């Protein structure tokens, strides 16, 4: 970090600033010029807040050289992280994983049938919402613990690891006991108490990007989890809110190379929530694979017209199988398996 201090600052004031930074275990280099004094700070500056430093009337400019995130930063962890989800490897140059299943669990027979279908199509994991964050308080909120138990039974039958969304801290033990990949949804991306809580367990976490969050805010959310000790984080891009009305959200595929450049963590793409339209899922899935995504999470339902939620963005099993078959060909071109 570089801090430019106005020339009229007295030696006493400069010494006070230097002591402030040295007390935080930072190495301070002072360069004195004709019009300004420049401080160079070397060390862990993640805890320093630029706005607080700028509040000092003697400070003219603050420039952060390194990103504020450390645990997720590729600079400090050059090798790709590979996250193990119940034996399924995600990231690095491993197989591109595919997660399939309904938006909401609708009962044991329904999730069992869908689980068998997505496994036959080539899925690696089963997704399903038991606790549902909905825009309307009158919309279906999920089956809760009963829904989780339905997925557990589907896992016993198919062997597919379970992916489901955690909404509150009080349900953590339930998810630790039964869920293989804990999803933090877009609306909870900056629920910092929840992030810290999942950081204190060792279950893999699928961290979705917030509806209108920057990439740095998203990475910093991962940093919250990792700073508590849990390094098993997978990013999930699910589209961001823009002015466009033709799609539910705007799928930002540029985040794939950016996340891979800035961090060492894997990233998967959710084309279902990103587009809100089953007709767009195949093309966006193939584009995501070509761009270097480590996986896909796709909503699948055997009767979308009657789905309890998000039927319009759900693929039928046969279309889901087609996406995987085509995806394998794209994966082969870029030197990966699927």
Burial class (CB in 10 A: 0-12, 13-18, 19+), 306: exposed
Burial class (CB in 10 A: 0-12, 13-18, 19+), 8: exposed
Q: pLDDT value at position 179?
A: 98
Domains of the chain listed by start with CATH number: 2-63 (3.30.70.1140), 74-333 (3.20.20.70)
* Mean predicted confidence (pLDDT) in 63-84: 88
Q: Which residues pair with 162 in a beta bridge?
A: 126
* Mean predicted confidence (pLDDT) in 198-223: 97
* Mean predicted confidence (pLDDT) in 62-81: 86
3-state helix/strand/coil string of 5-58: EECCCCHHHHHHHHHHHHCCCCEEEEEECCCEEEEEEECCCCCCCHHHHHCCCC
277 with 312: CB under 8 angstroms?
Answer: yes
Mean pLDDT of the chain: 93
What CA–CA distance (Å, rounded) separates 179 from 174? 8
Tokens standing for residue 62: 């603050």
Q: pLDDT value at position 247?
A: 95
Q: pLDDT value at position 336?
A: 96
* Nearest alpha carbon to residue 36 among 70, 60, 20: 60
Please say if the pLDDT value at position 141 is more than 80.
no
Please say if the pLDDT value at position 338 is more than 90.
yes
What CA–CA distance (Å, rounded) separates 286 from 304? 22
Task: Please give the torsion angle defined by the CA atoms of residues 242, 243, 249 and 255, in that order, rounded to the nearest 10 degrees.
Answer: -30
Q: What percent of the chain lies above the pLDDT cut of 70?
A: 100
What CA–CA distance (Å, rounded) separates 166 from 130? 9
Burial class (CB in 10 A: 0-12, 13-18, 19+), 224: buried
Q: Tally the residues of the chain.
A: 338
What CA–CA distance (Å, rounded) separates 1 from 276? 42
What CA–CA distance (Å, rounded) separates 285 from 88? 20
Q: pLDDT value at position 193?
A: 97
Ordered DSSP codes for 275-312: H--HHHHHHHHHHHHHHT-SEEEEEB-S-GGG-SS-GG
pTM for the full predicted model: 0.86
269 with 251: CB under 8 angstroms?
Answer: yes
């Amino acid at each position: 970090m570089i801090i430019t201090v106005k020339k009229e600052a007295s030696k006493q004031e400069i010494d006070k600033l230097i002591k402030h930074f040295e007390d935080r275990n930072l190495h301070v280099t002072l360069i004195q010029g004709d019009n300004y004094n420049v401080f160079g700070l070397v060390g862990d500056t993640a805890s320093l807040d630029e706005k607080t430093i700028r509040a000092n009337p003697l400070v003219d400019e603050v420039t952060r050289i390194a990103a504020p995130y450390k645990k997720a930063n590729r600079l400090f962890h050059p090798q790709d992280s590979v996250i193990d989800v119940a034996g399924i490897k995600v990231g690095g140059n491993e197989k591109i994983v595919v997660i399939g299943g309904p938006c909401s669990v609708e009962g044991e027979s329904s999730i069992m049938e869908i689980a068998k279908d997505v496994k036959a199509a080539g899925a690696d994991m089963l997704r399903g919402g038991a606790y549902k964050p909905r825009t309307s308080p009158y919309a279906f909120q999920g089956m809760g613990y009963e829904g989780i138990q339905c997925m557990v039974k589907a896992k016993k039958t198919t062997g597919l690891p379970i992916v489901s969304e955690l909404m509150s801290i009080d349900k953590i033990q339930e998810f630790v006991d039964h869920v293989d990949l804990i999803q933090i949804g877009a609306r909870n991306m900056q629920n910092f108490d929840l992030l810290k809580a999942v950081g204190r367990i060792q279950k893999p976490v699928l961290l979705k990007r917030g509806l209108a969050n920057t990439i740095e805010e998203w990475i910093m959310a991962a940093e919250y989890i990792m700073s508590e000790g849990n390094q098993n984080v997978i990013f999930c891009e699910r589209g961001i809110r823009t002015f466009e009305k033709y799609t539910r959200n705007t799928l930002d595929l540029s985040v794939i190379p950016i996340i891979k450049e800035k961090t060492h963590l894997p990233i998967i793409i959710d084309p279902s929530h990103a587009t809100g339209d089953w007709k767009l899922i195949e093309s966006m899935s193939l584009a995501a694979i070509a761009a270097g995504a480590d996986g896909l999470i796709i909503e699948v339902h055997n009767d979308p017209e009657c789905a309890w939620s998000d039927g319009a963005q759900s693929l039928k099993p046969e279309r889901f199988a087609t996406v995987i078959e085509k995806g394998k060909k794209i994966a082969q071109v870029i030197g990966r398996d699927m």
